[in-house]
Amino acid sequence: MKTIGIILLFVGLVFGAGTASAQTGQLEVTNAWARATPGRSEIGAAYATIESPTADRLVAAASPVAKKVELHTMTMSGTVMQMRPVAAIDIPAGRLVTLAPDGLHIMLEGLKKPLRAGQSFPLTLTFEKAGKRTVEVAVQQVGAMAPMPGMQH
Ligand SMILES: [Cu+2]
């Protein structure tokens, strides 16, 4: 197992050279965004891209804008999209994990006020190994499917 670990590390260094995560060797959360919430909806969702050079797990999330923050997955049950909470989201080593409206997401429940496009709010993600990462979440239009272009770091 040790040899495999060293080989993977080497492959990661070769192919990851030049990227920010290879330079810092740390888990990174980028492109954090959320959809604006319509009317007085107290439920929202946040998305982000997570990359880690070593395997990790996202185990919790918190934000001052919501009373409760959960990790959710979206699955098809027949023709109906269903959301359900998950205990953790796996972050495989060196692979981008993208939270998006059609899949894994961070559910914001009991929003203290609506999310408005153009605003941003802090979100703290807790990882099993990397610890906590706090990112600014940019609020996009209600129907947005992805972060605005130009937001890439
Ligand atoms: Cu959800």
Please choose, from the candidates 117, 113, 108, the residue with its C-alpha nearest in 3D space to the C-alpha of residue 142: 117
∠ CA(26), CA(27), CA(33), 5° rounding?
Answer: 140
- Distance CA(86)–CA(109), nearest Å, equals 15
Please choose, from the candidates 120, 34, 109, the residue with its C-alpha nearest in 3D space to the C-alpha of residue 71: 109
Residue at 92: amino acid letter: P
Query: In 3-state terms, what secondary structure has residue 80?
Result: strand
pLDDT at 66: 98
Q: Are strands 28-35 and 131-140 parallel, antiparallel or unpaired?
A: parallel
Q: pTM surpassing 0.85?
A: no
Neighbours of ion ligand 1 (CB under 5 A): 72, 83, 107
Q: DSSP character for 26? A: S
Q: How far does the centroid of ligand 1 lie from the alpha carbon of residue 126, in Å? A: 18
Q: How far does the centroid of ligand 1 lie from the alpha carbon of residue 72, in Å? A: 5
- Distance CA(120)–CA(139), nearest Å, equals 6
Q: How far does the centroid of ligand 1 lie from the alpha carbon of residue 42, in Å? A: 12
Residues near 140 by Cβ (< 8 Å), separated by ≥ 6?
33, 34, 35, 36, 117, 147, 148
Q: How far does the centroid of ligand 1 lie from the alpha carbon of residue 27, in Å? A: 24
pLDDT at 149: 57
Tokens encoding 69: 């923050």
| pLDDT tens for the 153 residues of the chain, in order | 455 554 444 444 444 444 444 445 899 999 999 999 988 889 999 999 999 999 999 999 999 999 999 999 998 888 888 899 999 999 999 999 999 998 999 999 999 999 999 999 999 999 999 999 999 999 998 877 777 654 444
Q: How far does the centroid of ligand 1 lie from the alpha carbon of residue 58, in Å? A: 16
Q: How far does the centroid of ligand 1 lie from the alpha carbon of residue 43, in Å? A: 9
pLDDT at 30: 97
pLDDT at 4: 52
CB-based contact 83:38 (threshold 8 Å): no
Q: DSSP character for 89? A: E
